């Protein structure tokens, strides 16, 4: 099943995706497409130590990730007004400037959860196929 939604100025990107998934009982899904622009950015960079936070305008040039009943794991690529691209792990407080168009694929034959993985130190995706 596909879901399509449009977020508008002032919406928090991550919180909006989490809320939509909860409201529509999405147990397992993935972001197929996400384009738009942000007026405030907060992304975690590689090595999971540092964050980039900025009030500069950025275009969303790519977004991908998984949706589980325990939350989301989304990576995003953004370009600035010179076309330079940055990317990282989507954190809270990424605020939509004018719009964000999202397409989500729901995977009804699966259940995704997140469980602590001692090897990585993070809650990692656990994939279970449902009996159909």
With b for 16 or more beta-carbon neighbours within 10 A and e for fewer, the 81-98 pattern comes to eeeeeebbbbbeebbbbe
Q: What is the reported pTM?
A: 0.93
Q: Residue ranges of the domains in the chain?
A: 2-129
Query: Model confidence at 132, in pLDDT bands (50, 70, 90)?
Result: low
Q: How many CB atoms lie within 10 A of CB 45?
A: 13
Q: What is the pLDDT of residues 66-115, one digit of tens each?
A: 999 999 999 999 999 999 999 999 999 999 999 999 999 999 999 999 99
Pick the CATH number of 2-129 from 3.30.1330.80, 3.90.280.10, 3.40.50.150, 3.90.1140.10: 3.30.1330.80
């Amino acid at each position: 099943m596909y879901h399509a939604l449009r977020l508008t100025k002032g919406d928090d990107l991550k919180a909006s995706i989490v809320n939509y998934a909860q409201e529509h009982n999405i147990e397992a899904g993935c972001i197929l497409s996400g384009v738009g622009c942000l007026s405030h950015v907060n992304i975690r960079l590689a090595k999971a130590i540092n964050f980039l936070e900025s009030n500069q305008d950025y275009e969303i040039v790519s977004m991908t990730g998984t949706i589980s009943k325990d939350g989301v794991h989304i990576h995003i690529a953004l370009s600035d007004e010179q076309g330079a691209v940055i990317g990282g792990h989507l954190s809270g407080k990424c605020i939509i400037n004018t719009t964000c168009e999202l397409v989500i694929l729901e995977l009804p034959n699966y259940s995704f959860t997140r469980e602590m993985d001692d090897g990585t130190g993070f809650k990692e995706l656990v994939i279970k196929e449902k009996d159909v």
